[in-house]
Amino acid sequence: SIHLIDVRSADEYRQGHIPGSINIPLDQILDITRVVSDKSARLFIHCLSGARSHRACAWLTRLGYSDVTNIGGIAQW
């Protein structure tokens, strides 16, 4: 399965987001286990510029997720 995770704040997400993405703000990234329990699922992580998504990918890897890709910032999308 593939999951597109937006790690921007809830307010930023409401202002516009990639259709089909799931909003899990960076400061709540540990809650991802409630949304995506399969640690082998393909995760594509993004934010506004790429900095938060980079940090989120590091956390997700530490949590045991094995297929995590930082796709950068939504501004590029």
* Residue 57 is among the residues annotated as catalytic for this protein: no
Catalytic member of 24, 47, 68, 71: 47
Q: Is 71 within 8 Å of 46 (Cβ atoms)? A: yes
Cα separation, 64 vs 77, whole angstroms: 28
Active site residues: 47
